[in-house]
Chains A and B, each alone.
Chain A
Amino acid sequence: MPRVGPLVGEFFMNGDTACAEGAISAGCRFFAGYPITPATEVAERMSARLPEIDGIFVQMEDELASMNAILGASWAGVKAMTATSGPGFSLMMENLGLGVMLETPCVLANIQRAGPSTGLPTLVGQGDMMQARWGSHGCYSIIALSPSSPQECYQLTIKAFNLSEKYRLPVLIMSDEIVGHMSEKVVIPPPEDIEIFSRRKPTAVPEEYLPFEPDADLVPPMANAGEGYRFHVTGLTHDERGYPVMTAEAQDRLVRRLVQKIEQNKTDIIDIEEDGIDNAEVVVCSYGISARVSQFAVERARDEGIKVGMLRLVTVWPFPEETIRQISQRVKAFVVPEINYGQIALEVERCAGGAADTILVPNMGGSAHRPETIIDAIRGAVR
């Protein structure tokens, strides 16, 4: 069998496969995962692709192990990812927290299905959006991106790796079953046209290296295991040396920085798409597959003469608070379609702060919204 190497050109592929190809383009050479619908295609693609480019694919015994294996691989200096869905995402939460605490670059794709529990394994859901934000115990900030197409699965996976390396944390790709399983054209550029960011290496000599002493952007440079730095890292609250310190002061210092390194760099991280917001009376705010249905609904509502804008959240976390706040001053209402009983709508409502109404268009999962449902909500909002 010939080795294929990096793909370049136009392809017809599904979102999960595109996610795997994005990872390969980003320089990911380690995948650990556990089979779960509808994320299995990511693992299958990686199992075929990584061995031929001297990467490692390992199917672990469960999602706890998968999450830990990618953390270990990242500390060995290799870009690493895993992919899962609902139940597996729950199992990964504990060690997502370890990744946050150890400031470990890695990528976790959640191809969302409908829950709770086993729910609808083969059908769409967007019920893990708040779990993505708050799922691991304790206080932290996270980055989550939400693709709306296979092309974007490819691109956002690259972006997820870049952000994870830049800000040293696990970055979540909050895809969904429909986006994961739909096949469309995916354009893969030549490697030289792809912007890649890799973790900043320490400049200090090993004797003086402090593994958690941050630079001005609050991100500490990262040494890999085996490079002679002889560092210690722990999931316990720690100081700049990486040593456990069991005090309220050390906790305050560390947790503030873990949150602030994301909050302070929000403008660099947040990516949103606005369409026709400026003279809109009502704005539809959505993400993932729901944003695609919303876009269709927005265009039909415009045909009826309704002044409606579309705000698509490519970055869901950190939440674009300031954008929502500004728009809320000018519009009557936000319409928020999502495949859950109201998660991101709560954030929109919080940021609108009463200046505009927030109208949730819920969907319990199993299918995307019908455009009519969203059009009705838009009509209701301007009435």
Chain B
Amino acid sequence: MNLKGSDEKHYIDKYLREDRMPHIWCPGCGLGSILHCFLSGLIKTGISMDKVVVVSGIGCTGRVAGYLKLDSFHTTHGRAIPFATGLKLANPKLKVVVFSGDGDLIAIGGNHLIHAARRNIDMTVICVNNFNYGMTGGQLGPTTPLTARTTTSPIGNYERPFNVPYLAAASGAVYVARWTSMHVRRLEQTITEGLLKRGFSFIEVISPCPTVYGRMNRQPTGLDQLRYYRENSVIRHGADPKEVDIDLNGKIVVGKFIDIERPTYSDLLDEVVQKAFEPELPKPDTSKKRATVAGSTPK
């Protein structure tokens, strides 16, 4: 965007759809910072922008795809990962990124997440976790901390939430990291690393939702939530994902938890195909009786 009174363009502007601004996100939301980190992290990878495809599901984070001047898909609720799986397997040259929220990826799309991680599909999943369903007005989600208030847990949440990095790691992700939207430099660096990692990389980003989650849990502004992150984040690279649960307004363990090597889906497929078949495909044998597709059911 042009800053007021200035012709100077920001270096990420050319990857944004300026004709779609202003965006729909609330003041104090973390998505703007995270989107910025994504683009600057992506630029640093040196990957050709024509080969980058971003797939989003539904929700506030689901709107990310629509603001990017890249090939981008805004799909159905929870289904970004299988859509992205189709893209990646059909054209392995694409750099496929799934950018979606915690409700989309962990609740309705949870099954797809664990299976894509198990298969080690070569893609990067950025999961923006704001602990609730923001777009529909702040309902309870699978990441809402115990006792937190939401519009469907007005007396406090009594469901145990998922520990998201533990879920991703246990399912087979080869790269798992977590930051908050306050950790812009580290997040950017992790995004670069995650994008360059072969296999299923998973980055959770804790993000403010002052409009509903924050307001209902004594952090009514974006600034309050960022202050909470600053005061309570604990950087612990290599932490056991089992131990990175988040309690209401408690400590947030951040850092890179998992970075391992494992053959991808395509690696294993190629290996099996090579073993199973001879390299050359024969020409079809047309010496047999010539057939025709004219007409329909033969009498």
Q: A3-B277, A60-B82 are in contact. Are A98 and B89 (CB under 8 A)?
A: no
Asked whether B246 is an interface residue with its Cβ less than 8 Å from the other chain, the reply is no
- Segment touching A, from B142-150, B215-223, B290-298: B290-298
Asked whether A193 is an interface residue with its Cβ less than 8 Å from the other chain, the reply is yes
Asked whether B74 is an interface residue with its Cβ less than 8 Å from the other chain, the reply is yes
Residues of B within 8 A of A190 (CB): 284, 286, 290-291
Asked whether B289 is an interface residue with its Cβ less than 8 Å from the other chain, the reply is yes
Q: Which single member of B87, B278, B282, B286 contacts A72 (CB below 8 Å)?
A: B87
Do residues B282 and A56 form an inter-chain contact, with CB atoms below 8 A? no
Asked whether B70 is an interface residue with its Cβ less than 8 Å from the other chain, the reply is yes
Query: B184: shortest Cβ distance to chain A, in Å?
Result: 25
Q: Closest chain B residue to A61 by CB distance?
A: B115
Inter-chain CA distance A98–B88, complex, in Å, is 19
Q: A9-B288, A229-B71 are in contact. Are A65 and B87 (CB under 8 A)?
A: no
The residue among B49, B79, B81 with the most chain A CB atoms within 10 A of its own CB is B79
Those of A74-115 within 8 Å (CB) of chain B: 74-78, 80, 94-95, 98, 102
Those of B197-213 within 8 Å (CB) of chain A: none
Residues of A within 8 A of B79 (CB): 64-65, 68, 95, 98
Q: Which single member of A58, A195, A243 contacts B89 (CB below 8 Å)?
A: A58
Asked whether B9 is an interface residue with its Cβ less than 8 Å from the other chain, the reply is no
Asked whether B83 is an interface residue with its Cβ less than 8 Å from the other chain, the reply is yes
Inter-chain CB contacts under 8 Å: number = 210
Do residues A314 and B284 form an inter-chain contact, with CB atoms below 8 A? no
Q: A9-B291, A152-B296 are in contact. Are A234 and B74 (CB under 8 A)?
A: yes
Inter-chain CA distance A74–B273, complex, in Å, is 23
Asked whether A235 is an interface residue with its Cβ less than 8 Å from the other chain, the reply is yes
Query: A383: shortest Cβ distance to chain B, in Å?
Result: 30
Those of B148-200 within 8 Å (CB) of chain A: none
The residue among A74, A149, A189, A226 with the most chain B CB atoms within 10 A of its own CB is A226
Asked whether A303 is an interface residue with its Cβ less than 8 Å from the other chain, the reply is no
Do residues B280 and A3 form an inter-chain contact, with CB atoms below 8 A? yes
Do residues A189 and B291 form an inter-chain contact, with CB atoms below 8 A? yes
Asked whether A214 is an interface residue with its Cβ less than 8 Å from the other chain, the reply is no
Q: A58-B89, A226-B50, A226-B71 are in contact. Are A68 and B76 (CB under 8 A)?
A: yes
Can you list 14 pairs linking A and B with CB atoms under 8 Å apart? A51-B269, A52-B281, A69-B82, A72-B90, A74-B90, A76-B91, A77-B91, A78-B90, A94-B76, A151-B297, A193-B292, A226-B71, A230-B50, A233-B73
What would 8 more interface pairs be, CB under 8 Å, given A8-B284, A64-B82, A72-B55? A30-B90, A191-B284, A193-B292, A193-B293, A225-B71, A230-B50, A232-B17, A232-B65
| Chain B residues with a Cβ under 8 A of chain A | 17, 19-20, 49-51, 53, 55, 65-66, 68-76, 78-79, 81-91, 93-94, 111-112, 115, 269, 272-273, 276-278, 280-286, 288-293, 296-298
Nearest 6 interchain pairs by C-beta: A72-B86, A234-B74, A76-B90, A73-B90, A65-B82, A69-B86
